[in-house]
């Protein structure tokens, strides 16, 4: 079983739609959680951290369920520019440092 699992998609949605991505992780000792965004042929960039109480940044809402080891990302009012691959990332402490494990990503296509 992969340490971080995501539905690969693609999710093909019209502009203005609401779309949700899910992610599960296997290591119950994982401490921090993040969503990264990767545009085609570009490097990944941090989109947002995921906090236990849930957090929102504009049209983006992230949720964490530690009991179910589940993370979600909700995008409201989708824009064409939201088209990208969204990577679920989990951080675990290994010895004296933190190790980031990347999911394989969920691809989003927003159409006009």
Partner 1 sequence: SAVISQKPSRDICQRGTSLTIQCQVDSQVTMMFWYRQQPGQSLTLIATANQGSEATYESGFVIDKFPISRPNLTFSTLTVSNMSPEDSSIYLCSVRTGLNTGELFFGEGSRLTVL
| Interacting residues toward partner 1 by CB under 8 A | 32-34, 42-46, 49, 87, 89, 91, 97-100, 102-105
- State whether residue 13 is helix, strand or coil: strand
Backbone angles phi, psi at 17, to 5 degrees: -75, 160
**Kind of pairing, strands 11-14 and 106-111?**
parallel
Cβ proximity to partner 1, 42 vs 79, nearer residue: 42
Distance CA 9, CA 83 (A): 12
Nearer to partner 1, 18 or 51 (CB): 51
**From the CB of 21, what's the least distance to partner 1, in Å?**
14
Residue 5 or 76: which CB sits closer to partner 1? 5
């Amino acid at each position: 079983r992969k340490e971080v699992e995501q539905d690969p998609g693609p999710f093909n949605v019209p502009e203005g739609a609401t779309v949700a991505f899910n992610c599960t992780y296997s290591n119950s000792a994982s401490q921090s959680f993040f969503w990264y965004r990767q545009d085609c042929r570009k490097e990944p960039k941090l989109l947002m951290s995921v906090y236990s109480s849930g957090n929102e940044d504009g049209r983006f809402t992230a949720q964490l369920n530690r009991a179910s080891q589940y993370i979600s990302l909700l995008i409201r009012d989708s824009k064409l520019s939201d088209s990208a691959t969204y990577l679920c990332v989990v951080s675990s402490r290994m010895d004296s440092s933190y190790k980031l494990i990347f999911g394989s990503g969920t691809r989003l296509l927003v159409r006009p």
